[in-house]
Structure 1
Amino acid sequence: MPDPGWRTAGDTDAAAHGLSAADLRLSEVLAQVSREALQAEGLDDVLQRIVDCVVRRLPVPIASIILLDESGTRFVREVWAGDIPLAELDMAIWDVSMGVAGRCARTGKPQLIADVAIDRDYVMGNPAVRSEYVVPIRHRGRLHGVLNIESTDEEFFVAETCAVFDAIAHQVAGAIHLARVVAELEAANRKLRELSTVDGLTGLANRRCFDERLAEDCARPSGRDAPLALLLVDADCFKQLNDALGHLHGDECLRRLALACSEFAAGEGDMAARYGGDELALLLPGRGEAEALGIAEQLRRRVEDAAMAHPVSVVAPWMTVSIGVFVAAAGQARSPMRMLSAADRALYAAKLQGRNRVASWDPTGDEAGLAGI
Structure 2
Amino acid sequence: MATPRTHEAMIQARGLPRGNGGLQGDGAMTGILAQVSREALQGEGLDAVLQRIVDCLFRRLPVAIASIILLDDAGTHFVQEVWAGQLDLEQSVPLPWPVTLGAAGRCARNGQAQLIADIEHDPDYVPGHRAVRSEYLVPIRHRARMHGVLNIESEHAEFFTLEVRALFDAVADQIAGAIHLARVAGELAAANRKLEGLSMSDGLTGIANRRCFDLRLAADWQRLAQEGRMLALALVDADCFKPLNDTCGHLYGDECLRTLARLCGGFAERDEDLVARYGGEELVLLLPGRDLPAVHRTGEHLRQRVEAEAIAHPCSTVAPHVTISVGVCAMQPEPARAPELLIQTADRALYAAKAQGRNCVVAAVPRTPRDRRSRARTAE
C-alpha distance in 2, partners of 1:285/1:256?
A: 24
Deviation of 1:11 (Å): 5.4
1:126-167: CA deviations, max 9, x gaps?
222221111011122322111011112122212122111111
Normalising to structure 2: TM-score of the pair?
0.87
The structure-2 alpha-carbon separation of the partners of 1:306 and 1:142, relative to structure 1 and needing over 3 Å to count, comes to: same
Aligned match of 2:173: 170
C-alpha distance in 2, partners of 1:213/1:302?
A: 26
Identity over aligned pairs, percent = 59
Aligned match of 1:286: 289
3-state SS, counterpart of residue 202 of structure 1: coil
1:185-230: CA deviations, max 9, x gaps?
2112222222221212222221112112222333447347222111
Deviation of 1:182 (Å): 1.4
Aligned match of 1:144: 147
The structure-2 alpha-carbon separation of the partners of 1:224 and 1:158, relative to structure 1 and needing over 3 Å to count, comes to: closer
3-state SS, counterpart of residue 205 of structure 2: coil
C-alpha distance in 2, partners of 1:192/1:114?
A: 52
C-alpha distance in 1, partners of 2:118/2:153?
A: 11
State whether residues 55 and 62 of structure 1, in contact with CA within 8 Å, keep that contact through their aligned partners in structure 2: yes
Aligned match of 1:266: 269
Say how many residue pairs are matched.
358
Aligned match of 1:296: 299
Aligned match of 1:354: 357
1:323-334 alignment runs, 5 A limit? 323-329=326-332, 334=337
The structure-2 alpha-carbon separation of the partners of 1:26 and 1:340, relative to structure 1 and needing over 3 Å to count, comes to: same
* The one of 147, 153, 157 aligned to 1:154: 157
C-alpha distance in 2, partners of 1:62/1:224?
A: 52
State whether residues 66 and 75 of structure 1, in contact with CA within 8 Å, keep that contact through their aligned partners in structure 2: yes
* The one of 129, 132, 140 aligned to 2:132: 129
Aligned match of 2:38: 35
State whether residues 52 and 81 of structure 1, in contact with CA within 8 Å, keep that contact through their aligned partners in structure 2: yes
Deviation of 1:350 (Å): 1.1
Deviation of 1:9 (Å): 5.7
Aligned match of 1:314: 317
Aligned match of 1:120: 123
3-state SS, counterpart of residue 203 of structure 1: coil
Aligned match of 1:208: 211
State whether residues 225 and 334 of structure 2, in contact with CA within 8 Å, keep that contact through their aligned partners in structure 1: no
3-state SS, counterpart of residue 275 of structure 2: strand
Aligned match of 1:197: 200
3-state SS, counterpart of residue 240 of structure 1: helix
* The one of 213, 218, 222 aligned to 2:221: 218
C-alpha distance in 1, partners of 2:132/2:249?
A: 73
Aligned match of 2:375: none
Structure 1's unaligned 5+ residue stretches are 13-19, 367-373
Greater Cα shift, 196-205 or 102-111:
196-205
1:32-72: CA deviations, max 9, x gaps?
11111111111111111111111111111111111122222
State whether residues 6 and 25 of structure 1, in contact with CA within 8 Å, keep that contact through their aligned partners in structure 2: no
Normalising to structure 1: TM-score of the pair?
0.88
The structure-2 alpha-carbon separation of the partners of 1:117 and 1:319, relative to structure 1 and needing over 3 Å to count, comes to: farther
C-alpha distance in 2, partners of 1:191/1:314?
A: 42
* The one of 230, 233, 239 aligned to 1:230: 233
State the 4+ residue runs in structure 1 displaced beyond 6 angstroms. 330-333
3-state SS, counterpart of residue 141 of structure 2: strand
C-alpha distance in 2, partners of 1:175/1:149?
A: 18
C-alpha distance in 2, partners of 1:241/1:326?
A: 28
C-alpha distance in 1, partners of 2:15/2:46?
A: 33
1:101 aligns with 2:100: no
State whether residues 11 and 24 of structure 1, in contact with CA within 8 Å, keep that contact through their aligned partners in structure 2: no
RMSD over equivalenced CA pairs, Å: 2.4
Aligned match of 2:339: 336
Aligned match of 1:245: 248
Give the letter aligned to residue 81 of structure 1.
Answer: A
Aligned match of 1:49: 52
State whether residues 224 and 332 of structure 1, in contact with CA within 8 Å, keep that contact through their aligned partners in structure 2: no
3-state SS, counterpart of residue 266 of structure 1: coil
